[in-house]
Amino acid sequence: MWLALAPLLATPLAACSGGGSQGAAASPPHVIDASRLVHTSAAAQTDPGKPFTVTVQTGGSLTDVTLSGPDGRQVAGVLDADGHGWHTTGPLAPGTHYTARIAATDGHGGRGETTADFTTEQAGRLLTATLGPDLGRDTYGVGEPLTVQLSEAVTDPAARREVEQSLTVSSQPAVVGAWYWVDGKNLHFRPKDYWPAGAKVKLAWNAQGRSIDGQLYGGAPSSLAFTVGDRVEAIVDAASDQLTFKRNGQVVNTIPVTTGKPGFDTRNGIKVVLGQERQVQMSSETIGIAKGSSEAYDLKVEWATRVTWSGEYVHAAPWSVASQGVDNVSHGCTGMSTDNARWFYEQTRVGDIVQVVNSKGHPMEPFGNGFGDWNLSWTDWLKGSALGRSVTTDAPPETVSAAATLRPQV
């Protein structure tokens, strides 16, 4: 860390007279050595979690202060109302060299400029955040939660609050939502109700330089944004063996289906579409059914829409058409005719809702087997927030997206 204060000489400013009886010109301001007038925290500025400050001696005032990193980007700051002080409001990055350029007056017609340099300490550890959804899509369904995966576990309640406060969710229109800590490294955000159709959503991680927990500091910022599509909901009734397809509250189609038979009952509850595969190989061994047993299968399945990581799909099942709308004969998936499965596939997207009712199966897991977030009541969801409260989003986002790949599980 080093400090340099040096006067920057400026060409005296010329002033034009508007005319007067004597035609006298105003005296130009004289250049002063601003380094003698200005004081900064640069000499002791090593902690990136503390603001950088600038003050001026009594009688003087600051006219301009900029603080820039090596990439030329300026750190946000604010000038005190009386003009005697300035401090950063934006974060400082660990292990980074900064240069401040400061302009001041002495109150007696003198003006000058000076600079101050400092380098922040390298943080012991940096906490980075991988944001989701990260499938490289511009549009998702109304059930898609926002996700954050941290680079290391955060368990201290105060540190978790710092993390939540470093995450900004904005949407247009605004919604009421909250974060939920799935575990020490993973957080989900969902609105109280589904996202509004057509909403513009943005998620940003803004913790750079922020002290999270002792020597753990926030790493590089990141963000993503997407648009919400129509409100698409598929309600699968395991008792009537019918799928009711709704778009924006209106019933569009009713499809005969078959769901899980006894012992393989389909999970009850709300699920979110995770991905779609034009064709997928499904093997009973992936769900614990031994090869060669009476329940074994190994099939190439078409028009498959995934709703759990453990292997539940809505897909074409031409072998069970006679049972569709009549009986439940599958191993847990929702089966339908090939034509109906293709129609369903083409009408849905990642993030749409598939809700199963009246099944004798276990309830959908809230976490770990897809996105079962919506199966928690709002009261229980709020209990998972370190801040213990909801937030209201309101700012319009920019469009950002990132690419990733779904796990090819069956």
pLDDT in tens, 331-382: 999 999 999 999 999 999 999 999 999 999 999 999 999 999 999 999 999 9
Same domain, 327 and 284: yes
Is 19 domain-assigned? yes
Asked if pLDDT for residue 401 goes beyond 60, the answer is no
Same domain, 144 and 245: no
Q: Let me know if 16 is a catalytic residue.
A: no
Look up residue 311 and give its two tokens. 């292997």
Query: Which strands form 176-181's sheet, in the order they lie side by side?
Result: 129-132, 146-150, 186-191, 176-181, 391-392
Asked if pLDDT for residue 236 goes beyond 60, the answer is yes
Asked if pLDDT for residue 10 goes beyond 80, the answer is no
Host domain of residue 137: 125-230+387-392
What's the rounded mean pLDDT across residues 325-336? 96
Catalytic residue among 87, 97, 188, 315: 315
- 16 or 70: which leads in pLDDT: 70
Same domain, 217 and 236: no
Range scoring the smallest mean pLDDT among 45-49, 74-78, 110-114? 45-49
Q: What percent of the chain has pLDDT over 70?
A: 87
Range scoring the smallest mean pLDDT among 9-23, 144-158, 194-208? 9-23
Is 382 domain-assigned? no
Q: Let me know if 97 is a catalytic residue.
A: no
Same domain, 285 and 361: yes
91 close to 210: Cβ distance less than 8 angstroms: yes
Range scoring the smallest mean pLDDT among 14-18, 54-58, 182-186, 192-196? 14-18
CA dihedral 284, 289, 291, 296 (to 10 degrees): -60
Is 209 domain-assigned? yes
Q: Where are the alpha helices (DSSP H) in 319-382?
A: 338-347, 378-382
Q: Where are the alpha helices (DSSP H) in 126-265?
A: 157-165
Q: Rounded to the nearest 5°, which phi and psi values hold at 162?
A: -60, -40
Is 321 domain-assigned? yes
Same domain, 353 and 243: yes
Q: How confident is the model at residue 5 (pLDDT cuts 50, 70, 90)?
A: very low
End-to-end Cα separation, the chain, in angstroms:
55
Asked if pLDDT for residue 176 goes beyond 60, the answer is yes
Is 397 domain-assigned? no
Q: How confident is the model at residue 156 (pLDDT cuts 50, 70, 90)?
A: very high
Radius of gyration, alpha carbons of the chain: 30
Same domain, 369 and 287: yes
CA distances from 163 to 38, 76, 92, 126, 207 (A): 36, 20, 16, 13, 8
Question: How many structural domains is the chain composed of?
Answer: 3
Q: How confident is the model at residue 285 (pLDDT cuts 50, 70, 90)?
A: low
Same domain, 150 and 204: yes
Same domain, 97 and 187: no
Instruction: Indicate the average pLDDT of the chain.
Output: 87
Asked if pLDDT for residue 405 goes beyond 70, the answer is no
30 close to 45: Cβ distance less than 8 angstroms: no
Distance between CA atoms of 161 and 142, rounded to whole angstroms? Answer: 27
What's the rounded mean pLDDT across residues 175-197? 98
